[in-house]
A and B are shown apart, each in its own frame.
Chain A
C-alpha cells in the first residue's frame, strides 16, 4: 500500500468475529502487518500486508481459523497492490497504541439487546473488561472482552449459556495471548470512506 509491501491478502466473511480470529491466526504464523478492516454492512474484510510468502501463509492460517466459526470465507491476494487499494480499508489500523491482554473473548449474535444482558452477566461472572461492542449492520453485533485466560473462558461460557440456544447466535471464540495489533485494530477504530458505514 505504497509502503513497499510485496503483497496484500484479504479475508472476507459475514459478521466480524471470524476475521478477528483470522487476524490473530495470521499474525501468529507469518510476518505480516494488519492494514485494517472494512465493513460494507454485513460482510467484513481483513487486509494484511507483507511478502508474498508471508501473505500466503497468513491467508492459509487465517482462513482456517475463520472457518472454525463460519462456513463461508472468501480469500484473495494481490501482488504489488495499487496504491488506491488502501482506500478500501474502512477502518485502518491506528498507530500509537500498545494494547495488551492475556486473552480476548468474542461473542457474536444478531440483535443488540441480548448483548447488554450477556455483557452484564460476563462482567459479573468473571474479571473481564468489555473492550468493544461492534455493530456491523445486518443485525450483527460482536462483543469483545479482555482479561486473564481463565476469566475470559469462563465469561464466554456464561455468555454462551445465555445465547447459544437462540436462533440469533452466530459464533464465539477465545483467543489466548492476542496480538497487540489485533486488539488495536478492532477496538480503536476511526472510520474513513464514504457511504453507509457505521
Chain B
C-alpha cells in the first residue's frame, strides 16, 4: 500500500474531540494514529487512511466538533513524510479499546462543578465512572459508561449538578461508541475507597491558596485531607473528608483562607459521596518520602508568576535569613511556588524579604506563613 494520507484535527475541549472522533470513525475508513494535548484545552487527533477517506474524516470531524466547541486546525497531508510520524503525537497510546454500549462525558471549568457532577451521575443511574483528567485551561472532564438509557440519565443529572455549582463547559452521550475511542478516555483510578460521611472540595488558583486552605481546614475541624490535586489553568483542589457537619464547617473555613491568600475559585460539599467518586478523585496521595522533620515551628510559602523571580527570592531568603529550603512546586498557568521552614520569626522575615525580591524580578502572586504545621498536612503536600 502507498503511504497513507494523514489527517490532522485540532480542537478545544474533550467533548468536542470525542464527538469528532466518534463521528469520523463511524463514517469513514480511517485509523487513529496519534494524539497530543498542548494545554489550554487544545487537543490534536491524527488519523490515517486513503486520501479521500481522510479528507472526508477531517470534514466530518469539523462538522461534529463545531457543535461542541472551537476547531483550531483541520488539514490533510496526502503524502506525509516519515519525519512527521516522529513527533510527540506518535508517542500516545492509540490502541486502547473501549467496550461499552454507551459513553458519556461531562466537561467543566474546574473541580467545584466537576466532582458533584460525577457524584450525581453515578447516583442517578447504573453507570461506571471511568475516570477524570485535565486538558489545560482549567478544563476537566469525567467519563462514564453503561447502557444508553443509563448514560443518558447520568449525563442529564451530571449537567444539572455541574451547572448549579459552576461552569458547565460541554457534555456528550455517544450511543454505541467506536471501540477506538478507548484511546481518548482518562486513566482509570483505583476502584475501592472507604465510605465517608462527606467529601469537601476547596478550589483555588495556585499552590499557596490550597495549602493555606488545607491548613485552615485541618485546624478548624476533625477532617482528613484526601489529597491536593492539580487541575491545570493554575487550579488546585484540596479534598477533605469527614462527617457532614464537620466537612461543611471546614470547607467554609478553607474557602475563606484560600480567598485571603490567593483566589478561591469555589468550594462545595458532597454528602454521602459515592465510593466510585471517592476512588476517582479522593484517592490518597502518596505520603511525602522524607516526611517533615518537625522541629520546625513554621513553614512559609511564596508563589510567583516567574521562575526567575522565585529563584532569586529563594536565594535571597536562604542567604539572609535563618530558614531552610523545603521544596518547590508548579501548578501550571505560569505559577510556581517554594516552601521554606524555620522558626516563626525567621520564616516571617524571610517571606517579607522574598516578597520584595520576587516583585523586583518577576510577579509575586501570593505568600503564606503557617505556624505549627500539622504533620498530617505536611505528609499530604506534594511539593517535596
Contacts and interface: CB of A to CB of B under 8 A. Distances in A.
Interface of A: 10-12, 38, 40-43, 45, 74-76, 78, 81-82, 84-85, 87-88, 90, 110-117, 119-120, 123-124, 129-130, 133, 135, 137-141, 193-197
Contacts of B84: 116, 119-120, 123, 130
B13 to A, nearest CB: 13
Interface of B: 6, 8-10, 36, 38-40, 42, 44, 46, 72-75, 77, 80-81, 83-84, 86-89, 136, 207, 230, 232, 305-312, 314-315, 318-319, 325, 327-336, 361-362, 382-384
A82 B311 CA distance: 10
A139 B332 contact: no
Given A74-B308, A196-B331, A113 B9 contact: yes
Nearest to B360: A76
Contacts of B318: 82, 84
10 contacts: A40-B330, A41-B331, A43-B307, A45-B307, A76-B361, A114-B75, A130-B87, A133-B87, A135-B88, A139-B136
A130 B86 contact: yes
B333 A138 contact: yes
B129 to A, nearest CB: 24
B330 A195 contact: yes
Contacts of B305: 43
Nearest to A86: B311
Nearest to B71: A113
Nearest to B313: A76
Contacts of B333: 41-42, 138
A110 B237 CA distance: 28
A147 B143 CA distance: 45
B328 to A, nearest CB: 6
Contacts of A11: 308
Main secondary structure of the interface of B (DSSP, over half): mixed
Given A78-B315, A111-B10, A84 B40 contact: no
Report, nearest first, the 9 A-B pairs whose CB atoms are least far apart: A113-B73, A137-B39, A113-B10, A195-B330, A41-B332, A196-B332, A84-B325, A45-B307, A12-B308
Contact of B38 (A76, A119, A135): A135
A195 to B, nearest CB: 4
Contacts, number: 177
B46 A116 contact: yes
Nearest to B34: A116
Contact of A81 (B39, B315, B382): B315
A26 B332 CA distance: 28
Nearest to A117: B75
A194 B39 contact: no
Contact of B83 (A76, A120, A194): A120
Contact of A40 (B86, B312, B327, B336): B336
B374 to A, nearest CB: 21
A74 B330 contact: no
B306 A43 contact: yes
Contact of B382 (A113, A115, A195): A195
A110 B41 CA distance: 12
A140 B336 contact: no
Contacts of A116: 6, 8, 44, 46, 75, 77, 80, 84, 87, 89
Contacts of A10: 307-308, 311-312
Nearest to A80: B319
B332 A117 contact: no
A123 B338 CA distance: 43
Nearest to A119: B84
A74 B306 contact: yes
Given A78-B311, A120-B77, A113 B44 contact: yes
Contact of A41 (B81, B319, B334, B361): B334
A158 B213 CA distance: 52
A117 B81 CA distance: 10
B38 A140 contact: yes
A156 B136 CA distance: 29
A120 B312 contact: no
Contacts of A133: 87-88
Nearest to A135: B38
Contacts of B312: 10, 76, 78
Contact of A197 (B6, B136, B330): B330
A196 to B, nearest CB: 4
Given A40-B330, A112-B38, A137-B332, A88 B310 contact: yes
